Amino acid sequence: MQRILFSAVKDFFSFDPKQAKVKPRILNGLILFIGILLWILMLSYHELSSMMGDSPAATLPFEIGDLWYRLIQIGFLLSHALLISRIFANIEKLHVTTLLWQLFMIGMTGILVVMLITFGNRFLRDNTLIDYIRAFFFAFGYYALVLYLLSGLFIFRRFILFPRTRRKLLFWKLLLALLALALTFHFLGYYQLVSGNIVIPIFLGFLLLVLVLSANVRWIPYLNFNQKLRALGLFVLIEIVTATFIVASDRLPDQLGIPNAQGFLPIEFLTFMTFFVVVYSGFSILVLFFNLPTTSLFETNRVEIASFSKINQAIQSNLDFSEIIGTLLDAGMMETGARAGWVEWLDENGVPQVRNKKRVSEEDLQELKSVYDVTEKVLRDQKFLMIRNTKKNKAFRSSNTRYRSILCVPVVSSSKSFGVVYLANDLVNAFEDVSVQTVVGFTEQAGIALENAQLIKNSIEVERYQEQLKIAKEVQDKLLPTNLPFTDRIEFAALSENAYEVGGDYFDVSHPQEHLFRVAIGDVSGKGTTAAFYMAEMKGIFHALTQLNMTTRQFVATTNQALAECLQQGFFVTLTYLEIDIRRRNVQLIRAGHTPTYFYRAKSKTVESFREGTLGLGLVRKPGFIDYIHEPTEINYDPGDLLVLYTDGLIEARNKAGEEFGYDRFQTIIEQYADTPVEELASRIVEAVKTFTASVLDDDYTVLLIRLK
């Protein structure tokens, strides 16, 4: 008998409905039939008990005893648990209020059954028929309680596993294991033997697990105010229904004349499930109540997606395609929590090429690409493709990849297809609908931005209002420093010019301590008046934060948070930030989406390029941005060394043939004139670019030189 129980429990926790050979509806009907049959056997047992006035264990036909009764009872519980888990296992979209309403209606139906039982018992109290009907009353009440608790268990499972992580899955399996252990004790009749010594520690472990799992209410921020209010009311009603069941399960057996013996019912199992429903509902009520006044994350995401179409104004000729692709992939991985990602980009001949792969091996790429041409299908259909489980997907079933969930999102514009962004996770069904829609919004705006980047050289300059330009010019003149610090240990020189009346380039120097200099050079996306006003915001942030004792990583993270509060959606700032300690002869450098920094070593007459960095500021507006910032680059310098900072207006300047000035020519100028005075070197750099472009510069430019002595 023990083997039968353990096998049933194992089948319940490892059962995969998609591997069943029969149709799901037929299988569900079969499971329901078995569960009802076992319930009828339980009902028969209680009916015989009522008729005989004693336990029928010794007098029933075929020598049916209490052990067989417990086996039938556990079979009834497992069959209904399997049925309800199958019903709720296919929930893909998290419709919180719908699921809570379903649970409430199941509970109310059960309460109605209990009320009918109570009134029926009172009406037939003096009738001899009551001795035969009490068993029916008890069995129906018990059925209602079990259905309600099992429904609550598996509905709340969907809430807890949003989003799905390994830690949550592990804790959930431990919870199910303790429930199975409670059933095992009931089957073996251990309650009276080991009541306090084993059941109490198990209940304490169950209590701890329930508290840990109840803290998983990540679904709440995705609700808007009305949804939160409805969910709060439904949870309160569910608590009332549960309390009613608790009172009924305590009083009803005695009112019906059926002793609620510990060995008669799986008290531990029912108590554990009741406690789980009560605690998770209580946690959800508290969190929902204190989140009502806040703006929900769901609404924020929708606003971001709607306004993200304006990013084509921000990402213009100041970013090349590779930087746009990298930014898009990083934002997608951060939004969805993907473990790996890559981009398949169409080359000039329309052939997809893998670009910007992150944390994915060549073996996995070959396995996935060998299935069929996913890129061609996604670009042809122009809609995203999501594989929730590669092992269950016909196309990917034969592939030997460790990834189980794959999201493929096309990057297209109204007239051209650019490529496909791939995001992968090693968990099944790892991508939630809200995150998927956000990534789709990113790619839609990226397609528009890329198309605009291609057409920017042919665009027509729109008319600018003279009064706005006059105000913007006055602001612009006050933004950039006119006098840079000069000591016997360090020397600065800078040249800056706007393509139009005002521009988005920014540089500044702060001298908070005698031995310490803090330097920033940045570029606000876009041009014109809007960029100029955001420069003013950047200047205020820079001078406020450089007076504080912050590390370079803290400065960049805090600046990103501050800009996220003031930048219009779709705008961002690239930045290179330096902290120079002339006493230690040390430089700490962080690059946030800005052009690489050049460093000339006077002793060896060599030029180094520092390219490692993170996203531009304001692109990602979520907490935890500091985790994506690398440790600062450390540079120990000698007297005569030189730092060269600049904006992309110099590098991307084009001649009449459309050829860019580029990094190689820029580095050559530095190598040729690095030992000249910094003012002369700055002039030679600008002169070389203007000579290359025949004095035509279409973008703002800034060059900032720092001689270290």
Q: What is the pLDDT of residues 539-580, one digit of tens each?
A: 889 988 988 888 999 999 999 988 888 888 778 899 999 999
Tens digit of each residue's pLDDT (9 = 90 or more) over 301-355: 554 554 444 444 445 444 556 777 777 788 788 878 889 999 998 888 888 888 8
Give SS3 for 358: strand
Angle between helices 130-160 and 166-188 (to 10 degrees): 160
239: which 2 tokens?
């608590």
Candidate from 103-117, 131-145, 159-173 with smallest mean pLDDT: 131-145
- 292 vs 307: which has the higher pLDDT: 292
Instruction: Give me the domains of the chain, ranges plus CATH numbers.
Output: 2-294 (no CATH), 302-457 (3.30.450.40), 467-708 (3.60.40.10)
Q: What do you get for the CA distance between the two ends of the chain, in Å?
A: 87
Over range 656-674, report the average pLDDT. Answer: 92
CB atoms within 10 A of CB 51: 12
196: which 2 tokens?
């306090």
- Helix ranges (H only) for 161-266 are 166-188, 191-194, 200-214, 225-255
Kindly report the average pLDDT of the chain as a whole number.
80
Range with top average pLDDT, 127-141, 340-354, 468-482: 340-354
Tens digit of each residue's pLDDT (9 = 90 or more) over 401-439: 888 899 999 998 878 888 999 999 989 888 988 788 888
Closest by alpha carbon to 106, among 212, 288, 245, 247? 245
Q: Please tell me the predicted confidence (pLDDT) of residue 302.
A: 54
Q: Please tell me the predicted confidence (pLDDT) of residue 55.
A: 43
Over range 370-380, report the average pLDDT. Answer: 81
Distance CA 276, CA 451 (A): 53
394: which 2 tokens?
């016909």
Candidate from 518-522, 556-560, 568-572, 648-652 with smallest mean pLDDT: 568-572
Over range 348-369, report the average pLDDT. Answer: 84
CA 188 to each of CA 201, 206, 264, 415: distance values in angstroms, whole numbers, following the listed order: 18, 20, 12, 71
Distance CA 352, CA 342 (A): 12
Percent of the chain residues past pLDDT 90, beyond the cut: 24
Distance CA 114, CA 148 (A): 13
Q: Please tell me the predicted confidence (pLDDT) of residue 645.
A: 96
DSSP secondary structure code for residue 630 in this structure: P
- 257 vs 102: which has the higher pLDDT: 102
Cβ proximity of 479 and 693 under 8 Å: no
Number of H helices, E strands in the chain: 21, 15
DSSP secondary structure code for residue 77 in this structure: H
Q: Give me the count of residues in the chain.
A: 709
123: which 2 tokens?
């009406």
Cβ proximity of 503 and 533 under 8 Å: no
Closest by alpha carbon to 580, among 656, 485, 650, 649? 485
Longest dimension (CA), the chain: 115
Four-point Cα dihedral 60, 65, 70, 72, nearest 10 = -40
Distance CA 411, CA 420 (A): 6
CB atoms within 10 A of CB 101: 16
Asked if the model's pLDDT at residue 64 lies above 70, the reply is no
Radius of gyration for the chain, computed over Cα atoms and rounded to the nearest angstrom: 35
Question: If phi over 0 gives left and psi between -120 and 50 gives alpha, with beta otherwise, what is residue 53?
Answer: left
Closest by alpha carbon to 234, among 88, 94, 97, 91? 97
Cβ proximity of 578 and 519 under 8 Å: yes
CA 659 to chain centre: 41
The pLDDT-based confidence of 2 (bands split at 50, 70, 90) is: very low
Tens digit of each residue's pLDDT (9 = 90 or more) over 143-193: 888 899 999 999 998 888 888 888 888 999 998 888 888 887 776 665 444
What helix, strand, coil percent values describe the chain, rounded to 5?
Answer: 55, 15, 30
CA 577 to chain centre: 29
Q: Please tell me the predicted confidence (pLDDT) of residue 670.
A: 93
Residue corresponding to tokens 């056997």 = 41
Three-state SS across 134-161? HHHHHHHHHHHHHHHHHHHHHHHHHHHC
- Helix ranges (H only) for 456-547 are 466-479, 528-545
47: which 2 tokens?
């009916």
Cβ proximity of 158 and 91 under 8 Å: yes
Cβ proximity of 300 and 228 under 8 Å: no
Q: Please tell me the predicted confidence (pLDDT) of residue 707.
A: 94
Q: Please tell me the predicted confidence (pLDDT) of residue 101.
A: 93
Tens digit of each residue's pLDDT (9 = 90 or more) over 490-502: 999 999 887 776 6
- 582 vs 164: which has the higher pLDDT: 582
Four-point Cα dihedral 662, 668, 669, 675, nearest 10 = 150
Distance CA 682, CA 644 (A): 9
Q: Please tell me the predicted confidence (pLDDT) of residue 456.
A: 57
**Sheet with strand 505-513: strands edge to edge:** 505-513, 516-524, 573-581, 586-592, 633-636
Cβ proximity of 155 and 99 under 8 Å: yes
Closest by alpha carbon to 96, among 279, 282, 277, 224? 224
Percent of the chain residues past pLDDT 70, beyond the cut: 79
- Partners of 123 in beta bridges: none
